[in-house]
Amino acid sequence: MDRLVSLALAALTLAVGGGAPPREATAAFSALIAARYPSERGFRACSHVNYSPTEIDCWAEISKGTRRRMVSATASPGSKVVFTTVASRRWAPVPQRLVHDFGASGTATANSPAFDWAFLLGAADDGFRRHRLPASYFAVDGNRSGMPAAMFRFRCTLAGGVVTCANTLGDALRYTPS
């Protein structure tokens, strides 16, 4: 398997270094994911990011049974691919400092540590206070160009005093405003 991972990393580096379009980087990233996690299936995407004309970011959300995993990689010409695995999903409290970062007040739980929950909480709180829910928001503070909507766009709804925001892949935030 180490040889497969090395080949996939080389393919992703070549795709980026050669100025390849994101679909070629996505194919190389998919090969990397398949080599490293052979029996896991799910969403994969790569795209150029606005803050760098040469860098490509890749994201994956994959699973096997009840185990879910988020994986990201960043590649730029002439550099090593940075490959990061994010923890599996489980519900946990969002720290109060993050709840308050963008003006929200209350408590929140999330089933993944991988998103900009502070920014999403600020947007969801604003929607709640203005009576503008349901609504959709990107869980990204800053330019979101190139980031796949399937992962980063969250639909927020209100039921029983709780705002629930979820993306199409099952990542979710529950917020109880105070």
Q: What is the pLDDT of residues 92-129, one digit of tens each?
A: 999 999 999 999 999 999 988 778 899 999 999 999 99
CATH code given to domain 2-86: 3.30.1300
The DSSP annotation for 93-106 comes to: EPPHHHHHTTT--E
Could you report the per-residue pLDDT of 3-48, keeping only the tens digit for each?
A: 544 444 555 554 445 555 677 778 878 888 888 888 888 998 888 7
C-beta of residue 65 within 8 angstroms of C-beta of residue 56: no
> CA–CA separation, 43 vs 17, rounded Å?
24
Rounded to whole angstroms, what are the CA distances from 171 to 24, 73, 101, 102, 156? 27, 19, 21, 20, 12
> CA–CA separation, 168 vs 125, rounded Å?
21
For CATH 3.30.1300, the residue range(s) in the chain are 2-86
Please tell me the pTM assigned to this model: 0.71
